[in-house]
Amino acid sequence: MDFVNSTLEWLSQYIHEYLLFTIYSGVKALVILVPLFIVVAYYTYAERKVIGYMQIRKGPNRVGPKGLLQPFADMFKLMFKEIIVPTNSNKYLFIIAPVITFAPAMAAWAVIPFNDTLVFSDINAGLLYILAMTSVGVYGVIIAGWASNSKYALLGAMRSAAQIVAYEIAMGFALVGVLMVGGSLNLGDIVNKQAGGIGHWFFIPLLPLFFVYLISGVAETNRAPFDVAEGESEIVAGFHVEYSGMTFAVFFLAEYANMILIAMLCSLLFFGGWLSPVPGLLGDSVGWLFGKTAVFMLLFLWFRATFPRYRYDQIMRLGWKVLLPVTIVWLFVEGLAVYFKVGPWFV
Amino acid sequence: MIETVIFYVFAIATVVSATAVVTVRNPVHAALFLVLTFFTSAIIWMSLEAEFLAITLVLVYVGAVMVLFIFVVMMLDINVARLREGFVRYLPLGLLVAAIMLGLMLSVVTSDVFVLEAGSEPAPRAADYSNTKALGGVLYTDYVFAFEIAAVILLVAIIAAISLTMRKRSQTKYQVPSEQIKVRKADRLRIVKMPSEEKS
């Protein structure tokens, strides 16, 4: 960090302040986003491998040793494919829809802290910002469905809109619970509040809210078993049925980036982020955060490999009639715990 | 300097998209322009250091309310040609309403409250100042009753809206999830043992 600061000071003699700030922010964003893209690429590979092994298959094993170059093969294939814009579709909205999904998925990473100091933007209302960004992403899905001028796509968009509205509320309420314990909207503060070993992590007092958050997170990212917006067996591919080549790849990228985001938020908000489970024995490090995130990322794949898809009305029922009441009841319980100062979380 | 540039860029974007909301022909496009208007005004609020309100505007209006709006607008089979009928007929009334609204706005904007000299530019807050904390403190102490009453009024509005639209139609088939869950394998499935046939 000292090295970065001294370099910035040296540069500021030659470059205008605003320009320097822009360049510095751009570099910081790249430092976060480039590894993210690589993780997304290998997450798709891991998904196919893991699901393969779970179903007693081998998964991709032809491109490169053990299929390790498969993500690049897929990427180049998608890059060189033609982008087909359907006739009678709305061309501007059709092209802009993947961008609208992609941009918030990337923007949300701006406030994710990797340890005490390593964060792109350490803002006060970080958690609220993440909620806002993830809720904007649904517009890409809705616009894609509508602009495609295709019945399957429109059906997928409709389902997605209803699902997002239903699960967003449960998700928001689960996060209200985190705020009540954490006493802050800043993600770094929330993690630091969990200091003191595994017994101080928030998943213990907030176990029901953690499950609600995880389930809503899977639903928000349109992943199995809540992937009715895509629903291969019913509506072909749902909202992105008309998309090909790079436009499809951008949707794909956003979906996987969102999955990693939800996994990382689970570990930050409920499992102590970069904090070590036994502080006396092992030190805090960013490795803990990545390890915890990897576990939740594996959960996403595991869900997909093992659960059958929910029916549309069952999804609505689960969101409104099960998850939402659970969060409301638990907020009351938490209010009591705060009032009576139940330790070690509510002191 | 940079704040001024940001303000003008997003202020112009807000005005243009707000104008587009009422001028574009396609209702879905109009709704999308409304989303853009909310978004750009959120950014203007952000530049006024009201970050909680700005993010909440995006979260509530863009993330939830407008999704429902677009959901409904996309489902409606709107005949664009019929929407534009009667423009001349309603023009006098429309002009009258517009004139009244313009007058009201002017009377507010030109009043003493909005004169530039009335309040000097507020000093920027320190970086650790939490807008959220300040708002929460005021809402739950000074204005707690007003806040609670507003919440109750909104709740009443929700219940009223639901009770107005909820009706059971006799010929619609409903699924009863509790009965679906109660079903056991033995109720529906009968396993028949068949002796395997001898090879002839």
Q: Is there a contact between A60 and A49 (Cβ–Cβ < 8 Å)?
A: yes
Backbone angles phi, psi at A113, to 5 degrees: -85, 140
Cα-based distances in Å from A252 to A78, A302, B59, B131 = 11, 19, 24, 36
Q: Do B52 and A158 touch (CB under 8 A)?
A: no
Q: Is B63 exposed, middle or buried (0-12, 13-18, 19+ CB in 10 A)?
A: buried
Q: Rounded to an integer, what distance in angstroms lies between the CA atom of residue A67 and that of residue A320?
A: 42
Average pLDDT over residues B103-119: 75
Residue B29, token pair as written in the block: 């496009």
Average pLDDT over residues A105-113: 89
Is the model more confident about A224 or about B56? B56
Query: What pLDDT, on a 0 to 100 scale, did the predictor assign at position B78?
Result: 65
How does pLDDT run across A318-341, given as a tens digit for each residue? Answer: 888 888 899 999 988 888 888 888
Query: What pLDDT, on a 0 to 100 scale, did the predictor assign at position A260?
Result: 92
Average pLDDT over residues A291-308: 89
Average pLDDT over residues B123-145: 80
Query: What pLDDT, on a 0 to 100 scale, did the predictor assign at position A179?
Result: 86
Half-sphere exposure of residue A243: CA atoms within 13 angstroms, side-chain side: 29
Nearest Cα residue to A222 out of A249, A248, A244, A252: A252
Residue A271, token pair as written in the block: 């499992």
Q: Tell me which DSSP letter residue B59 carries.
A: I
Q: Which alpha helices (DSSP H) does chain A contain, by range?
A: 2-11, 17-54, 70-80, 91-107, 126-136, 138-147, 151-182, 187-193, 207-220, 232-235, 245-269, 286-306, 312-317, 324-339
Q: What's the ipTM?
A: 0.80
Is A79 a residue whose pLDDT tops 80?
yes
Query: What pLDDT, on a 0 to 100 scale, did the predictor assign at position B13?
Result: 92
Instruction: Give the range with max mean pLDDT: A37-51, A79-93, A226-240, B159-173.
Output: A37-51
Query: What pLDDT, on a 0 to 100 scale, did the predictor assign at position B120?
Result: 62
Residue A146's closest chain B neighbor by CA? B74
Is B173 a residue whose pLDDT tops 90?
no
Average pLDDT over residues A154-171: 82
How does pLDDT run across A185-197, given as a tens digit for each residue? Answer: 888 888 888 887 7
- Residue A124 with chain B: CB contacts under 8 Å: 51, 128, 130-132
Is B101 a residue whose pLDDT tops 90?
yes
How does pLDDT run across A39-57, given as a tens digit for each residue? Answer: 998 998 999 899 999 988 8
Whole-prediction pTM value? 0.84
A interface with B, Cβ–Cβ < 8 A, is 18, 93, 123-125, 128-129, 131-132, 135-136, 138-139, 142-143, 146, 154, 157-158, 161-162, 164-165, 168-169, 172, 185, 313-314, 317
